[in-house]
Structure 1
Amino acid sequence: MLRPEPLPRTVRLLLLARTVNRLGAFSLPFLTALICADHGASLTTAGLVSAAFGLATIPSRLVGGRLADRVGRRTTIVLGLCGCAVAQLAIAGSGSLTWVVASAILLGLAFELYEPPSQAIIGESVPERQRVRAFSLFSAALALGGMGAGLLAAVVGRWDLRWLFVIDAATCLACALLIRLALPHDRPARPGADPGDTLVRPLRDRALVGVLATGTAYALIHQQTVMTLPLALTRQGLPAADAGLLFTAAAATTVLAQPLIQLPRVRRLGTPLALSLAHLLLAAGLTGYALARTLPALLAAAVVWSLGDLLVMGRVYALVTDLAPPGGSGRYLAVFGTSWGVAATLAPVLGTQLLARAGATASWSTMAVLCLLLAALHLRATPRPPGHQHAAEAIHPRVPGTAQ
């Protein structure tokens, strides 16, 4: 088997920067726990604050795409990371619930600014034959950083949850500095310079709208799992900080299980069948969360969940890219990315309400049933992109990669 071609220096630096940033990026799942513990807020209030954050991420991603074209990729990434650091430090130093709410909204407005320019840099810096591999490695960088972040959260969270936000802010600033010093200077496009801009209308593409709908449902389940896990653990008599260990197990699985998606049988699966299988694994993992009563059992469930997550993320971003017309992949990915903002808005409210009214077991069971429904829906409604065979071949190189 031939060694894969080396990625451009720009992409490798971006991967390194995102690993550094991800190392401290496990404060957000503990936002609701911090609000309840330090400010005496109810689950409902904590959920609404997290929902306000999620709502703010929707314009954040769209503005990030616009700024990337107007002022440049590097500048937009640095702006977003510095904005996140300021907001996280404000949350850590907050003395009132009002200040936490304002800081959470500020964090949401800055949180997604760097995603569109980061994806654009990858798409523009590598040839088409390397694009799937590059996006996979970009996600692998997040998972690798997440492994250390989960352990950090488990240790620091037992001491004081506020320090998680301080550490997250520090890694954002370190990432911003690395991007600022290492990436090439921006060359933003002049207004009106893109003649195809008026021809790309992502929301008029029925195939993309369908993928956006199922992707939003998946993101809602994913975000609910992340947001409510610390609170669910306390309901089961375990420390909220143990969520950090589960997050670490999930991240380790997405990295170590990467060879599984390179198996010939897996690569030959059509996109609808692969996504259906992925959601069956997600349902199995969530069922494990519902039934588990000990940390080892929860860790096993996290591994199963992560295998499904690995299959979903790798396939869905390749699918969206294949659906995009020439020159429109950035806008297609930006529109698809709003699914995470919608999910981040709804998940805290739905998750905390379900947890408060029905308990942890019913909450996990409900999400497992939704995954089963999505598994059936993918078999009937998900398009099989014409670029599937090319994407499968691009996954073949022996380079670790995953999607998050």
Structure 2
Amino acid sequence: MPSATASQTLTWRGVPRPVRVLVLARTVNRLGAFSMAFLGLLLTRHLGASLTTAGVVLAAFGLATVPSRLAGGRLADRIGRRRTIVLGLVGCAVSQLWIAASPTVASAAVAAVAFGLAYEIYEPASQAIIADVSAPEDRPAAYALLQASMAVAGVLAGGIAAAVSSLDLRLLFVIDAASCLACAAIVRAYLPAGEVTAPAYDAVPVRPWRDTRLLLLLGVGSVLATIYMLLVMALPLTLDARGLPSWHLGVLLAASAVTGVAVTPFVPVLTAGRDSFATMRAAYVVLAVGLVAYAYADRLSLFLVGTVVCGAAEVLLLGHGMALAAGLAPEHGRAAYLAVFGLSWGVATTLAPLLGTQLLDRGGPVAAWLLPAAAALACAWAQPALRRRLTPSHDACEG
């Protein structure tokens, strides 16, 4: 099969309408997606839970997201993309209102598990829509567009959370529930049902767990996801260890979002003439450079350099990773494949807090960032082997 490279003509107007609707809806949803960061505080401050109990509840939420994503993949391929997205968002809204209204720790704990079970249902369907309506060579740029828009909304969400959290933590969950319902309404009203419903279900069963190519991609994706979860978890602690004020974190988050927006339009140009594996190899090297900058940064300007470099690499890596997973799947099993691939973030959410705190405690910021930098270089080194394993039956990105 001839090599496919990224489109050089994909623009916002050229993006298929379902993708534009999805980007708008998910951006609205992301504006309110800040409540989980405050669940621990709600449990301890308002409901009197101990730190240990709060930690168990948060862990239970995280564990519940694993079957949530798998169920979302199956539902999206069986009942349709739009129905699955609406179902997941409504489930999130109901469970968050339940958390806000909970009078006891036990009630909030059950509601948190219910939230986890609904939390990832819409994600595989959202990713599958992009694969359904985008040409294979355009998928990386389309996925990058979704990530960039959500990054910008995430910065605005932080400002909303900062303003509202001083009033009542329960109000955060109410606002998040409202954003879920608003997103569901946009999807229900404007996402064409016939155009992006699930393909006709094939008699041949979809077994993503038996596809060794997908499992290999999941392994490498888990390394990348863990690196980025370390960015989320270890960066605030690194700033503190270097004696820098906490407001620097807000500046870095904003810089990361701006980088995503600035780089996304250039993804087709940056990747022109290269397959996904060559692009990802280069992006992993760029990511390693940014992580090394974090290891030795001692002032805001140097942290900004690391943030911009890592942000640029993220745009390329996340989009191409999802495009590769979608390309491995049969047409009637894309959401199931993307659900399995997305479990890399569940792995990362479990490993990163343990790994990051241990590295910072034992080796300080230098060790905490040089180890993931080495892991990024290892992923870059592995790309030619991935090409050999995935290319023969891969429909999107070959070399």
Report the TM-score range of the alignment, normalised by the length of the smaller protein.
0.7 to 0.9
Q: Distance in 2 between matches of 1:149 and 1:350?
A: 27
Residue of structure 1 equivalent to 2:333 = 328
Letter in 2 for 1:176: A
Residue of structure 1 equivalent to 2:5 = none
Give the conservation status (yes or no) of the 8 Å contact 1:88–1:166.
Answer: yes
Q: Distance in 2 between matches of 1:260 and 1:248?
A: 20
Given the alignment of the two structures, is residue 287 of structure 1 paired with residue 302 of structure 2, yes or no? no
Task: Call closer, same or farther: CA 1:300–1:352 in 2, change over 3 Å.
Answer: same
Task: Call closer, same or farther: CA 1:295–1:50 in 2, change over 3 Å.
Answer: farther
Secondary structure (helix, strand or coil) at the match of 1:385 reads helix
Residue of structure 1 equivalent to 2:226 = 220
1:318 pairs with 323, 332, 336, which one?
A: 323
Q: Distance in 2 between matches of 1:47 and 1:366?
A: 26
Task: Call closer, same or farther: CA 1:97–1:61 in 2, change over 3 Å.
Answer: same
Given the alignment of the two structures, is residue 145 of structure 1 paired with residue 153 of structure 2, yes or no? yes
Give the conservation status (yes or no) of the 8 Å contact 2:82–2:197.
Answer: no
Task: Call closer, same or farther: CA 1:177–1:263 in 2, change over 3 Å.
Answer: closer
2:178 pairs with 158, 170, 181, which one?
A: 170
How do 1:42-121 residues align onto structure 2 when only pairs under 5 Å count? 49-89=57-97, 101-121=109-129
Letter in 1 for 2:149: A
Letter in 2 for 1:11: V
Query: Unpaired segments of 5 or more residues in structure 2?
Result: 1-7
Task: Call closer, same or farther: CA 1:297–1:107 in 2, change over 3 Å.
Answer: farther
Q: How much has 1:227 moved relative to structure 2?
A: 3.4
Letter in 2 for 1:22: R
Residue of structure 2 equivalent to 1:363 = 368
How do 1:5-404 residues align onto structure 2 when only pairs under 5 Å count? 6-28=14-36, 49-89=57-97, 101-126=109-134, 131-153=139-161, 165-184=173-192, 194-198=201-205, 200-238=206-244, 242-263=248-269, 266-356=271-361, 358-383=363-388, 385=391
Secondary structure (helix, strand or coil) at the match of 1:269 reads coil
Task: Call closer, same or farther: CA 1:109–1:205 in 2, change over 3 Å.
Answer: same
What's the CA shift string for 1:72-94, capped at 9, x where partnerless? Answer: 43332122223323444555677
Give the conservation status (yes or no) of the 8 Å contact 2:81–2:198.
Answer: no
Give the conservation status (yes or no) of the 8 Å contact 2:288–2:373.
Answer: yes
Give the conservation status (yes or no) of the 8 Å contact 1:55–1:342.
Answer: no
Number of residue pairs aligned between Structure 1 and Structure 2: 388
Q: How much has 1:156 moved relative to structure 2?
A: 5.5
Secondary structure (helix, strand or coil) at the match of 1:283 reads helix
Task: Call closer, same or farther: CA 1:2–1:256 in 2, change over 3 Å.
Answer: closer
Give the conservation status (yes or no) of the 8 Å contact 2:30–2:150.
Answer: yes
Give the conservation status (yes or no) of the 8 Å contact 2:276–2:320.
Answer: yes
Task: Call closer, same or farther: CA 1:136–1:292 in 2, change over 3 Å.
Answer: closer
Task: Call closer, same or farther: CA 1:18–1:387 in 2, change over 3 Å.
Answer: farther
Q: CA RMSD in A?
A: 3.9
Q: Distance in 2 between matches of 1:376 and 1:33?
A: 42
Q: Distance in 2 between matches of 1:284 and 1:216?
A: 20
Q: How much has 1:218 moved relative to structure 2?
A: 1.0
Q: How much has 1:16 moved relative to structure 2?
A: 0.9
What's the CA shift string for 1:172-222, capped at 9, x where partnerless? Answer: 2221222233334589779xx623442x33233222221111001111221
Letter in 1 for 2:273: R
Instruction: Work out the percentage of aligned pairs sharing the same amino acid.
Output: 47
Give the conservation status (yes or no) of the 8 Å contact 1:154–1:241.
Answer: no
What's the CA shift string for 1:297-356, capped at 9, x where partnerless? Answer: 323321111111112112212222232344333322222112112222332333344445
Q: Give the structure-1-normalised TM-score.
A: 0.78
Give the conservation status (yes or no) of the 8 Å contact 2:86–2:184.
Answer: yes
